[in-house]
Structure 1
Amino acid sequence: MKKPATKASSEFFSINLFKSWLPFLETVQTYNGTKFRLDLLAGLTVALVALPQAMAYAFIAGVEPQYGIYALIVGSIVAALFGSSRHLHTGPVNASSIVIAATMTPYIHQENYMAMVFLLALLAGVFQLGAGLFKLGNLAQFISSSVLIGFMAGAALLIIINQVPNLLGLPQSSGLTFLNNISGIGENIARVDTAAICIGVGTVLLVLTINRLSPKSPAGIPYIPSYLLALLAAAGLVVLFGLIDKGIVVVGNIPAQLPPLSAPALDLTTINLLAASALALTVISISETIASAKSIGSLAGDKIDANQELVGQGLAKIAVAFFSGMPVSGSFTRTALNFRAGAQTRFAAVFSGILIFIIVIIFSPIARYIPVAALAGVIMVLVTNMVNWDHVVITLKTTKSDAVVMLATFTATLLFSLDTAIYIGVGLSLVLFLRKAGHPRLIELEYDQTNGFQEMKPADKRRIPEISIVHIEGDIFFGAAEFFENEIGRIASRPGLKVLILRVKSASCLDATSIMGLMRFAENMKKTDKLLVVSGVTGEVERVFRRSGLDKVVGKENIFFSDVAVLKSTKKALHRALEYVNSKGEGEYRVSLFYDRPDKAKVNK
């Protein structure tokens, strides 16, 4: 006889679990005609902006425009179906495009160049999908804003310098670093093409003019698609005046077809070459995507599942790898536009992908004549939105470590490969954080019968107390263990000291290293006929003490648990200390709480 299915197994195959793997099913259940109409309008609005952006970002990445378009069509649809946000729009983006260019430039003449680009998308997709499946959605919070701001600022400047030759009609530099581009421009400056300059500058002016003068919707969205119109106008001029014959470079044929199947380069040698860059691409994508989804989600009143968003982004990258697309990511600009355009559900992004394909079919005959200089002009305008200058100012003014991390990342972005710049920024921010975290604060107060516990001021005359109480604030983990042990050891070595009370209510993250240090300290106190007392012990700290055996080394009678009443357990510890000192036949007593920076310390009660 078969055993009945357990409750757990039935829940596993329940419709709710099915929906968690296919989140768009829940959207389908409540979909109606009104939502369809609003989503379709929002999808069209985004499509008209996204199409020229995709071509421009493909150009930045060093691939032909159709690969950006294919990525936009496939990426926007797949990410929308499997992600968490109902507004997030996915496709080629500025930051990822410059990383792709920096990664792929050394291999540009290889026969399997595009297969390597597809592999880069596949690897980044696998990394991001894995991060989502292993519930690492909060990983983005460990990448400081200082790193991202510095990287974005450096990438923006790098993109601008990289597009100057296209705007001037000059040949491109062989490298992608800031210095290589500056050198290349200087060497070829005498070959400036006046027609290319006129087209590029004219495109910039036309985009800015349309954005300024175009009638706008109640949400502030221009009714006229400035980027698309400017590129089509430039293409019209090329055809009208026969500028191809006069040396103007155009983007060339853009196939009006569905994204074709593609095969990434899957050999181990190529995988090893691109893995580090794919990881850097993943780091950038996670940060951009989660930030975009959460910022717009907060405006819309939506709760974002970061892990599900990573799953959607990972699947989108994997999909574009097999449908001839460059790597994609969540776009803040297009996500905000999607929200402002009135998108109601995830299907707005799906409709934008479908509409982009239709627009390409309509305009592909003339799109082939879009001049490279015009694309460079569009890129110049787009790049101005990459950097939030208010955030730059805040980062420079907030703390020295923030400023150092941002400037170091910015400089590394200009001088080194972009994946190296990301690792330098993240590594430096972690080092500075650990350095700060490795110095927990020790706070000293003075005690008397009238006023109780009082902070000692810098001008106060210090006396060597028989009893010292050390109030600890911060993480007592392996990185801080040596500093902590040295500091309490210094206090314990004071002449005349008999009892040291450690108040640990505001201490956290005790680990094996710090516990072993406390064990050594407690044993040394016993050897010198001194007493260690611990107060403010929380439930978490008590478990660590008990499991490690530290409670037996210190003595359970010398451990006092945290109480809702302020400093109550410390008062109990103080009574225990006085009993001990009295038992040793000492004289008059004075109690103080120790800290190393009295001018800046405050007790966390």
Structure 2
Amino acid sequence: MLGKVLNWFRKSGLHPFPLYQTLRNYTVGKALADFRAGINVSLLDFPQGMAYALIAGLPVQMGIFCSALSSITGPFLASSRFVMLGPTNATAVMLLSTFLTLGYAPEQAVIALPMMLILVGVFMVAGAFIGVASITQYISRAVVVGYITAAACLIIVNQLKTVLGLHVPRAGTFAESLQNLIIGIGETQWEALTMASLTLLVYLPLKRWAKGLPTVALTLLIAGGLAVVLGHYGVHAEMLSPISVSSWTFGLPRFDLGDLAVIANGALAVAFLSLLESSSIAKTLAAQSGDRVDLNQQMLSMGAANFACAFGGGMAVSGSLTRSVLNFRSGAQTAISSIFSGVLLVAGLFLFGRFIGYIPKPALAMLVILVGLSLINRTTIWVMLKTTRSDATVFLSTFIGGLFLPLDTAIYLGAAASIGLFLHKASKPGLKEVSFDDSGKLVEQKLERERKDRPEIAIVHVEGDLFFASSDVFLDQMRHVVQHPALSVIILRLRNAHNLDASVALTIKDLVLFARSNGRDVIVSGAHPYVERVFKNSGLLETLGESNFFRYHPENPTISTRDALKRAQEITGEKSADITIFASEKKGD
């Protein structure tokens, strides 16, 4: 059985234990650097974990449990030495939106969450083995920016009700939540608003003048002290529940197969979002440090961390931007810094868990609102809106969708818009004609379907992606060329053609048959091994014929075109046939 598992890893290109190489070369100096980084990250992670659990509508301890479990388990399979796994704003809001859309009360969400995390883990592990991480290159950053901006709006409006002390119905979208907030605003409790306002007055000076200190943790400590003092004067705000380590249980989660189908869509959205978020962070930090990162390996580590959280009372796992950057800037040398951080979080629970009951809920809600405001990056939004029409379309589709629709639907909408626009651009092969003028110089002319001076032999350069999305347009353009009465032979030069697939193979076959039915012939030149494999596997090479197929030779790139021209002259019976070249607007050879 172990041999089969290792064989799966080898075939997929994944490593079953990448931390082994780190441990082999681990030194005391690296350990000290990792421990210092782990301390810094854990001081930020403790209050952040509580905040993200609050965002998701879950008990605050679940955020801390998630941070500890994922920080300890993730590095055993991770590719990046800097990315810190745990709860994030993006995944927390996705959980909130999913459970609210399903109409789950907080108690139901806690019961259903482990099953959802198992599904997230399954999607991520399966995706890692089949290598789906490469899909991120087709998803515009505008999708992530649009989602995060919409998520920030939902975070703010959901936490405002706690700041105001309101008990209004929960809703799964920003628009519904805002409506409920406006309806219930007349029942604002001044005690909660006072506590939240004092928290803001404490946090802002600390953020400005105490940048070297853990400002979030320090603010909550001061807010807890203020709550005790105000309590003596009759000002009482709702408090968080204390956390006892004895309540941290491990075991098999409860399964309700009836819920499996309804939460699968949310689980897939969480997995997809986590992949986008983590891959962006991993690539950014790898570029700054000179590392190489395997996104599928990173995806595998997130899948394992989600399994750990499913059996250990955590929440959804992703890569955290703030904690990962802090880990990098704190001088972490290896992924073991994450393990140190997780162990310190567990120690913090033992030492300080009972004191969490002194933190006012409005104080934590105010800090969460500040986090939400920080996610709205006006500069980046401006870039998305002004750079290209495609970026603006994708951003607005995701953002507006996120305001009025569940966030899982919004991110699918944005991803579909991004991929759709990419395919739209890639599916328009633009051709231009290059031919000789009377003086013997090459000149460019517009490609016109009804040119009257069409020569006997035409060379068509195909450059860039030629796949299913561009096959129909390509066939339509080529048919108009074939139908010219003066034309006898078309040479398709495929040296710079990429990503040919079955659809294109059938398209070229249709072109060959159409040309021959009109008394013309088609020749292929500059075919790379990949192109030849597609032609052979699809049966296209048999239709075309070996005599009309000329392979690319790296030692002499032009020889295939020369041989193709000789073959064309044999077909026409003319050794001095006119020749023209059709080339895409991209620079070719």
Q: Displacement of 1:502 after TM fit?
A: 2.4
State the Cα distance separating 1:41 from its structure 2 match: 1.9
Q: Does 1:534 align with 2:524?
A: yes
Partner of 1:593: 581
1:505 matched residue in structure 2: 495
Q: 2:56 aligns with which of 43, 56, 61?
A: 61
SS at match of 1:116: helix
TM-score w.r.t. structure 1 length? 0.87
Query: Which of 51, 58, 62 is matched with 2:46 structurally?
Result: 51
Alpha carbons of structure 1 residues 162 and 560: separation in structure 2 relative to 1, 3 Å: same
Q: CA RMSD in A?
A: 3.1
TM superposition shift of 1:64? 1.2
Per-residue displacement from partner, 1:266-312 (whole Å, max 9, x unpaired)? 12111112111011100111122222223223323332232332222
Separation in 2, partners of 1:421, 1:91: 23
Per-residue Cα deviation, 1:113-161 (whole angstroms, up to 9, x for no partner) = 3121122222212221222344444343343322212111111121112
Higher mean C-alpha deviation, range 48-57 or range 152-161? 152-161
2:22 aligned with 1:27: yes
Letter in 2 for 1:510: L
**TM-score between the two structures when normalised by the length of structure 2:** 0.89
In 2, the alpha carbon distance for the partners of 1:198 and 1:111 equals: 29
- Decide which of 198, 203, 218 is 2:199's aligned counterpart: 203
What's the counterpart of residue 400 of structure 1? 389
Rounded Cα–Cα distance in structure 2 between residues aligned with 1:298 and 1:257: 42
Q: 1:83 to 1:554 in 2, by over 3 A?
A: closer
Contact 1:464 1:494 in 2 (8 A): no
Paired letter, 2:278: T
* Aligned pair partner of 1:324 in 289, 313, 319: 313
Cα distance change on mapping 1:523 and 1:243 into 2, 3 Å:
farther
Give the CA deviation at 1:53.
0.6
Secondary structure at the counterpart of residue 208 of structure 1? helix
Q: Structure 1 residues 453 and 535, CA, compared in 2 at 3 Å: closer, same or farther?
A: farther
For the structure 1 residues 492 and 134, does the alpha-carbon distance in structure 2 shift closer, same or farther, using more than 3 Å as the test? Answer: closer
Distance 1:451 1:156, change over 3 A: farther
- Equivalences, count: 578
Q: 1:27 to 1:508 in 2, by over 3 A?
A: closer
Aligned equivalent of 1:283: 272
| Structure 2 residue corresponding to 1:175, chosen from 171, 176, 197 | 171
Find the counterpart in structure 2 of residue 149 from structure 1: 145
Aligned residues of 1:125 and 1:317 also touching (Cα < 8 A): yes
Change (3 A) 1:561 1:346: closer
Counterpart CA distance in 2 for 1:244 and 1:339 is: 45
Which residue is 1:130 aligned to?
A: 126
Question: Contact conserved, 2:15 with 2:77, CA < 8 A, in 1?
Answer: no
For 2:112, the aligned partner's letter is: M
Q: Pick the aligned partner of 1:78 from 70, 73, 80.
A: 73
Q: Distance in 2 between matches of 1:362 and 1:551?
A: 72
- Does the 8 A contact of 1:173 with 1:180 survive in 2? no
2:88 to 86, 89, 93: 93
Structure 1 residues 361, 77: closer, same or farther in 2, change over 3 A? same
Residues 227 and 236, structure 2, Cα contact 8 Å, conserved in 1: no
Aligned to 2:292: 303
- Taking the aligned partners of 1:520 and 1:244, their CA distance within structure 2 comes to 86
Q: Distance in 2 between matches of 1:539 and 1:82?
A: 35
Gaps of 5+ in 2: none
Letter in 2 for 1:327: A
- Within 5 Å, give how 1:312-461 maps onto structure 2: 312-448=301-437, 451=440, 453-456=442-445
**How many Å separate the matches in 2 of 1:212 and 1:43?**
24
Q: Shift in Å at residue 579 of structure 1? A: 5.3
- Contact 1:441–1:474 under 8 Å retained in 2: no
TM-aligned CA distance change 1:202 to 1:455, over 3 Å: farther
CA 1:246–1:212: 2 relative to 1, 3 Å: closer
3-state DSSP of counterpart to 1:592: strand
Q: Which ranges in structure 1 are unaligned for 5 or more consecutive residues?
A: 1-7, 215-221
1:490 aligns with 2:485: no
Report 1:238-249 matches (<5 A): 238-242=227-231, 246-249=235-238
Report the alpha carbon displacement of residue 65 of structure 1 after superposing the two structures with TM.
0.7
Instruction: Check whether the contact 2:460–2:490 (CA below 8 A) recurs between aligned residues.
Output: yes
> What is the CA deviation profile of residues 408-438 of structure 1, one whole-angstrom value per residue up to 9, with x for unaligned ones?
0111111111111122122222222222222
**TM superposition shift of 1:494:** 2.2
Q: Cα distance, 1:20 vs. partner?
A: 4.2
Query: Which is further off, 150-159 or 53-62?
Result: 150-159
Q: Identify the residue that residue 218 of structure 1 maps to in structure 2.
A: none
- Percent identical among aligned pairs is 33
- Paired with 1:530 and 1:21, the residues of 2 have a C-alpha distance of 56
CA distance in 1, matches of 2:25, 2:422: 46
Q: What CA distance in whole angstroms lies between the structure 1 residues aligned with 2:291 and 2:574?
A: 64
Cα distance change of structure 1 residues 272 and 45 upon mapping to structure 2, 3 Å threshold: same
CA distance in 2, matches of 1:385, 1:536: 53
Contact 1:533 1:573 in 2 (8 A): yes
Equivalent pair of 1:204/1:380 in contact (CA under 8 Å): no
Aligned 8 A contact 1:448 1:591 in 2: no
Q: Partners in 2 of 1:589 and 1:29 — Cα distance?
A: 69
- Listed one character per residue, the Cα deviations across residues 383-427 of structure 1 (whole Å, up to 9, x for unaligned) are 244354444333333432222112101111111111111221222
Q: CA deviation at 1:87?
A: 2.0
Q: Deviation per CA, 1:54-104: give whole Å up to 9, x if none.
A: 111100000111111111111211112332222221211100000111112
Distance 1:287 1:155, change over 3 A: same
What SS class does the counterpart of residue 75 from structure 2 fall into?
helix
User: Which one is further off, 497-506 or 282-291?
Assistant: 497-506
1:496 is paired with a residue whose SS is coil
Shift of 1:574: 4.2
Say whether the 8 Å CA contact 1:72–1:90 is kept in structure 2. yes
Displacement of 1:178 after TM fit? 1.3
1:464 aligned partner, one-letter code: D
Call closer, same or farther: CA 1:22–1:243 in 2, change over 3 Å.
farther
Residues 474 and 346 (structure 1), Cα distance of their counterparts in 2 relative to 1, 3 Å cut: closer
Question: Take 1:248 and 1:515, find their aligned partners in 2: how far apart are those partners?
Answer: 70
Conserved 8 A contact 1:545-1:551: yes
Measured at CA, do residues 244 and 171 of structure 1 come closer, stay the same or move farther in structure 2, by a change above 3 Å?
A: farther
- Counterparts of 2:273 and 2:488 in 1: how far apart (Å)? 55
Question: 1:464·1:497 contact (CA, 8 Å) conserved in 2?
Answer: no
Rate the CA distance shift 1:163–1:464 in 2: closer, same or farther, 3 A.
Answer: same
Q: Counterpart of 2:544?
A: 554
Q: Is the 8 A contact 1:499 1:532 kept in 2?
A: yes
> d(CA) in 2 for partners of 1:324 and 1:419?
23
How far apart are 1:486 and its partner, in Å?
Answer: 1.5
Amino acid at match of 2:483: S
CA contact (8 A) 2:125 2:303 kept: yes
CA 1:452–1:69 in 2, change beyond 3 Å: closer, same or farther?
Answer: same
Partner of 1:3: none
